[in-house]
A and B are shown apart, each in its own frame.
Chain A
Amino acid sequence: MENKLIVSSSPHTRTPETIESIMTDVLIALFPVALVSVLLFGYQALLTIVIGTLAAMVTEALILRKKDIFGDGSAAVTGLLLALTLPPAPPWWVVVIGSVVAIGIGKHVYGGLGNNLFNPALVGRAVLLISWGTNLAGDVWALPQPFAFTADVSAVTAATPLVTQDVTLFELFLGNINGSLGEVSALALIIGALWLFYKGHIDWRIPGGFIGAVFVLGFLLGGGAYENALMTGLFHVLAGGVLLGAFFMATDMVTSPVTPRGRLIYGIGCGVVTMLVRLYGGYPEGVTFGILLMNGLTPLIDNLTVPRKFGEVKK
């Protein structure tokens, strides 16, 4: 046995956690969200989710020339997240293009895992929004048909509550509304987020800053159809993609700051840009652009928010 003694630098013990286990935890956290979307939008939602996730995994496996299509799990997360930002029944090729762009251009042109500047899923979504926007904007959003798995939900569509502002906050919370697959149920999103908090993969700063900024700006500037400013603020938090973005997109480890102060600033920035687009911009929803813009600022934020080191002598 002596000649098998391994000599390496300390520490000699490691956490069992791996990139794979973190990605698996994110997939677990997204399960309730995906489940609710299938319950509400039936087989079409399931197809969109499966196509989006598989297309991303296959694209990554091709780029890396690996047969193991799950790999580190990050492509599955990207594909699933992208699918969850889409309407229930977009054309299948739109989903595929989104996933290919997300993995190819969003991630691997930068050098793959860990090196991308922008959230890959949102890069995919932004390209779809700009290039095939008629599939993702206006009144294309299918109304839910709960527990009718085989129904063709795309037959009845409308604009989302973010535009119509005609649903109650309670409906927004539960999710029996139309919208992107993953954004409709605040409850499912919160359950998933609790899992990520519990596992220590996200901390309060990014979602707290994001949601806080959306609420405050909604409260102050929201105007709109709700009885009072408080409810309007809550409406802006619950409607659209804020919770999906705040818990699952903005918190993407690779594309968010590492410093504690940086995370808070970044989260607030995401919320502010989101609200500026919603209230004054050309699109009804600003989550995608809010996060992408702050992704771009992440290296700068990290550089400007280096923590005070232990025992730092004041100059």
Chain B
Amino acid sequence: MSIKTFKGGVHPGYFKSLTANLPVVSMPLPEKVIIPLQQHIGVPCEPLVSPGDEVKVGQKIGESSGFVSAPIHATISGKVTKIEPYEHPLGRPVQSVFIEADGQDSWHEAGGGTQSLADLDAGEIKKIIREAGIVGLGGAAFPTHVKISPPADKPIDTVIVNGAECEPYLTADHRVMLERSEDVVFGLKAVMKALDCKKGYIGIEDNKPDAIEALREACAEEENIEVIPLHTKYPQGAEKMLIEVITGRQVPSGGLPMDVGVVNQNAGTCVAIAEAIKEGRPLVERVVTVTGPGIEKPANVKVRLGTIVREVIDYCGGMKEDTRKLILGGPMMGLAQPTADIPVIKGTSGILVLTEREVVVSDIRPCIKCAKCVDVCPVNILPNFLGLAGEQGLIERSEELNALDCIECGCCTYICPAKRPLTQWIRIAKAEITARRNKK
């Protein structure tokens, strides 16, 4: 088993054993859901329903004419009570559809699928994926049909399923790969067919030997799909790192994976694609790892989108008294939330609750130029100097220092003995650089 790796990276505590061996459980249907009309990168959707309307599970309730967008579906059956802005995991209120359950869980056009790949051409696959509202479930939530529709001058020869799950604590992808191996492979084959691409890889960190084994079995018959064990190191699952490790190609600075002929798909996304094609099911639920020392009973939970995070946490025994941080996603790149009254959205891979013990608030100290950040930076920029520039608001200097190449993995901040929030400063500089460029 050859183990491949990349330059830099860190080894934070993984804490995956909290949930790694717990099979996915389905949460009972919520009484109400609040479904934001933007759960993806791109154009927000317009509502297709009005307050008072009856909706069924899987019925499209939000749509946009923009290409870079993904439709939104009802995730429970019931009655639309209101449509108004509501708190959103990304920080700003977003127009959201409130649905009260009727307890029936009746499906819209139930079982419209059962199609096999052989009957579908590339265009049809893309259309099914778009109509199902599928976006990257790893966290970024980029619309999948856009990802698999590269311009003609960017031929794709490789599809990589990202099963690295390098974020500490999270095990949703791990469980999905283990329990839904066949569907992961099916989803990969669908994407390969949509892209007319001959080679598929599934990259998995070697701390998940059972998932590696399961997927090797699931694709034993597939000559052109290979499971690649990866070195367990954060950020192994960052797309640029994953592509370099598996194909040896470096995504050019400022470029996209398609510039080197590669498309990445998260393992969970592959399962969503399989469900859309085989069963005609749009994306109405996802697996979320609910974990952390602040959760009474950590679990991998299948949750309807739009379920309030507080209810999911309560389902897992609730938050402990000394809770200090609620994070959507993992501890390295997740977003800290001021409240648990926000909905689970398509990109919610984890609900992580940390207590007083883990949340250490430290003073920012002077940089001692230890260069540990330089050594761990996977994209080879100089976070220490970027931090100094960012701290002083020197935007042009940040740009010279390649701030825009930062993938915000957080390794520099993690490793810094002076507890300098380097990633945060770089993020601010990036936003400012981009804003200035857009103004020109």
Contacts and interface: CB of A to CB of B under 8 A. Distances in A.
A309 B414 contact: no
Contacts of A282: none
A2 B339 contact: yes
Contacts of A302: 385
A12 B334 contact: yes
B233 to A, nearest CB: 14
Contacts of A306: 382
Contacts of A263: 371
A8 B336 contact: yes
B402 A309 contact: yes
Interface in A170-207: 200-201, 203
B433 to A, nearest CB: 15
Interface string B247-286: 0001111110000000000000000000000000000000
Contact of A256 (B334, B369, B405): B369
Interface stretch (A40-48, A110-118, A232-240, A241-249): A110-118
Interface in A296-315: 302, 306-313
A17 interface: yes
Interface string B331-344: 11111111110000
A115 B365 CA distance: 12
A201 B370 contact: yes
A19 B372 contact: no
B368 A309 contact: no
Given A309-B253, A311-B240, A114 B366 contact: yes
A11 B413 contact: yes
Interface in B395-429: 402, 405, 408, 410, 413-419, 421, 423-424, 427
Contact of A259 (B319, B336, B374): B374
Q: Which of A14, A308, A312 has the most CB of B within 10 A?
A: A14
Given A201-B370, A310-B240, A21 B417 contact: yes
A96 B218 CA distance: 73
Contacts of B375: 203, 260
B332 A10 contact: yes
Contact of A308 (B333, B361, B374, B380): B380
A13 interface: yes
B324 A6 contact: yes
Given A5-B324, A10-B423, A258-B384, A22 B417 contact: yes
A253 B370 contact: yes
Contacts of B329: 10
Given A11-B332, A19-B368, A311 B168 contact: no
A258 B381 CA distance: 11
B417 A19 contact: yes
A13 B336 contact: no
B417 A12 contact: no
A307 B380 contact: yes
B324 A15 contact: no
A253 B334 contact: no
Contact of B324 (A4, A201, A253, A256): A4
Contacts of A21: 417
Contacts of A312: 252-253
Interface in B183-241: 240
A1 B390 CA distance: 33
Given A6-B336, A10-B334, A15-B415, A114 B369 contact: yes
Contacts of A258: 369, 371, 374, 382, 384-385
Interface residues of A, number: 46
B368 A253 contact: yes
Contacts of B332: 10-13
B13 interface: yes
A254 B378 CA distance: 23
Interface stretch (B59-67, B297-305, B352-360): B352-360
A200 B10 CA distance: 13
Interface in A67-98: 72, 74
A311 B360 CA distance: 35
A14 B334 contact: no
Interface string A96-136: 00000000000000001111000000000000000000000
Closest A-B pairs by Cβ, 5 of them = A11-B410, A114-B366, A9-B424, A310-B379, A258-B371
Given A113-B366, A253-B371, 18 more contacts: A5-B337, A5-B339, A6-B324, A6-B361, A8-B424, A9-B427, A12-B327, A12-B359, A14-B414, A17-B417, A18-B362, A18-B419, A19-B368, A72-B365, A113-B365, A200-B372, A258-B385, A311-B405
15 contacts: A5-B336, A5-B337, A8-B421, A11-B331, A13-B332, A15-B10, A15-B417, A18-B417, A18-B418, A112-B366, A203-B375, A253-B370, A309-B379, A310-B240, A311-B253
Interface of B: 10, 12-13, 168, 240, 250-255, 319, 321-327, 329, 331-340, 352, 354, 358-362, 365-372, 374-375, 378-382, 384-385, 402, 405, 408, 410, 413-419, 421, 423-424, 427
Interface of A: 1-2, 4-15, 17-19, 21-22, 72, 74, 112-115, 200-201, 203, 253-260, 263, 302, 306-313
